[in-house]
Chains A and B, each alone.
Chain A
């Protein structure tokens, strides 16, 4: 997050807590802290990868960004304009679009794919919605003459996801949020779609927020990676830096949980035990302390702030191990090998 160039998208202290209702009267019994104080910047043309396990809040973050879920607190600024104050949600949605994971569920089964793509352009009152849609179909690799009148169930998963990408681009957005957009595809098709996404990014000068659980994919497509755990950002760094050194113990576990791909040197010990805890009533202090091998007393009580590892570094982490003043016995030494 360099201060020199102004970010295209800036998110500050984003918060969303979902109530869990229960009992006869439907009273709120607990809160799911789905997203709890998430902040990040994305520069124009950059791709930010967001990784984390189920329940970490990465999908909720995506939906908050385009207002599919109402935020409780926090600011979303696009191009210096604040959502709700300077620009309306409707206007924001012209500039930020989203591609969902399930290629079938994200297309109206009763609508031809041409109509599905053109819908957004019609809604926003852009000129020549059909022409736009046809050009985009051709651009994502589906001949409009052959495919325009087809229905989603007549296409393969890869073709449907191309249509979803075309649909997201029809309003010429600046930012595209890709929520596990390639995860449901077969590996061979995934590679085709990733190539397409790279081409489109270059051609239209797009900015991506790429959410995935697959670290290899995120590494391939992203410039920076943001790691989330239980609704919070625990680490944020340029890809090469995080690949070289995972500063947060959770990030390290996540990386070591990747299959080794080396038949002679298979994984011998799982990096973590148990499942990711529930974001309902998360633990106090550092949320990872219940599973962390290096947790000390301070981790159970004090919440670590997200900040640069060393002053001015683009590698940010939220861990007491990296803060010399935290009071952790190993403070300032980093994560032990």
Chain B
């Protein structure tokens, strides 16, 4: 089966007053219908990865290299009409803040219909029907009335539902979600997560879900890729990564989630802060914060171990625990 998305050796570097090596040798494969969570902290490059996939980065200020194939097509070569149909047609995106991503001067119905008309060439009337259908699918109560609402007339959760309806209206094969629940309240967040899970099953699309919250990643995804300093340090099924984390960074993140930490006990905090990425990492980026680091970790990039199919850990010492088992 052709992968839906195949990223090979992607490098993204921002030029400017300061050079930032945002993505360093990132490779990732997503099969059709798969849900992958890109888990990482601020500055780990997870959002930049999404923007690169949609070719949203300013080309003048960015050095890109590597290969990105969507369903076999090299997206780096797309331009003009092909690029427009790729963006919003084959691949669409849900943003963190629907208040900013929705256009305040058009009604919800107009915005969805507009997108459908542009990508599917439907008449306005048919496009409105699609919009109504989409609002029903994202479980917006009294959808007919809501079609005529402006974004500011809706609550935060409703706006995010509209955003999802808009993103799914053209039946994309890949949905990119950039922290879509981070700004929401807990009781609303879980509703949106469950909705996305349901819609993913219903539409059979691939999903890349960017988040900094392990709990959210567990709820939404079948696979998790953990990012640190612009690289994927660990990847596997959600079960593998959560139950059996191999990379010390993943282990630290899980501990920091406080899910079952004894009250008042001292936390095993990862010391320090992520590197600034002004130079391209030539050794393990996590070594300065790593409790298990060896001198060798500071001298060369860590080997990528593959303990199982589609499972990988970029850590010199991950092998020891494997051998011990």
Contacts and interface: CB of A to CB of B under 8 A. Distances in A.
A and B touch in the complex (CB under 8 A): yes
Interface of A: 53-54, 156-159, 186-192, 194-195, 198, 213, 215-217, 219-221, 239-240, 253-254, 257-264, 266-276
Contact of A192 (B42, B194, B243, B269): B269
Interface string B208-241: 0000111110110000000000000000011100
Contact of B185 (A54, A186, A260, A273): A54
B258 interface: yes
A258 B186 contact: yes
A311 to B, nearest CB: 27
Given A198-B264, A219-B258, A220-B267, 6 more contacts: A188-B252, A189-B269, A192-B271, A259-B219, A261-B242, A267-B194
Contacts of A217: 258
Contacts of B158: 275
Contacts of B271: 192
Given A213-B186, A270-B190, A188 B219 contact: no
A150 B299 CA distance: 32
Contacts of A187: 41, 212, 214, 253, 256-257
A122 B263 CA distance: 37
Q: Which 4 A-B pairs have the closest CB atoms?
A: A259-B215, A191-B269, A186-B41, A53-B185
B156 interface: yes
Contact of A191 (B186, B216, B239, B270): B270
B269 A53 contact: no
B242 A188 contact: no
Contacts of B141: 274
B294 interface: no
B229 to A, nearest CB: 13
Nearest to B189: A257
Contacts of B185: 53-54, 213, 275-276
Interface in B137-159: 141, 155-158
A58 to B, nearest CB: 12
Contacts of A189: 269, 273
A186 B212 contact: yes
B187 A53 contact: yes
A254 B212 contact: no
B215 A275 contact: no
Nearest to B42: A186
Given A220-B258, A275-B156, A263 B238 contact: yes
B268 interface: yes
Size class of B's contact patch?
A: 35 or more
Nearest to A190: B256
B101 interface: no
Interface string B238-256: 1100110000000011011
A308 to B, nearest CB: 23
Nearest to B242: A263
B261 interface: yes
A198 B274 CA distance: 23
B191 interface: yes
B190 A267 contact: yes
A269 B256 contact: no
A191 B268 contact: yes
Given A188-B252, A257-B187, A276-B187, A216 B259 contact: yes
A275 B159 CA distance: 11
A263 B263 contact: no
Given A188-B41, A266-B219, A261 B212 contact: no
Among A217, A240, A254, A275, chain B packs the most CB atoms within 10 A around the CB of: A275
Given A259-B190, A275-B155, A239 B242 contact: no
20 contacts: A53-B185, A187-B212, A187-B253, A188-B253, A188-B289, A191-B255, A191-B268, A192-B270, A195-B266, A195-B267, A213-B185, A216-B261, A217-B258, A219-B258, A220-B263, A220-B264, A257-B186, A263-B237, A267-B190, A275-B157
B263 A271 contact: no
Nearest to A155: B273
Given A191-B256, A257-B186, A258-B186, A239 B215 contact: no
Interface in B44-76: none
Most buried by B among A157, A240, A264: A264
Interface in B189-216: 189-191, 193-194, 212-216
Contacts of B289: 188
Given A220-B263, A261-B257, A267 B219 contact: yes
B188 interface: yes
Contacts of A220: 258, 261, 263-264, 267
A56 to B, nearest CB: 9
A60 to B, nearest CB: 16
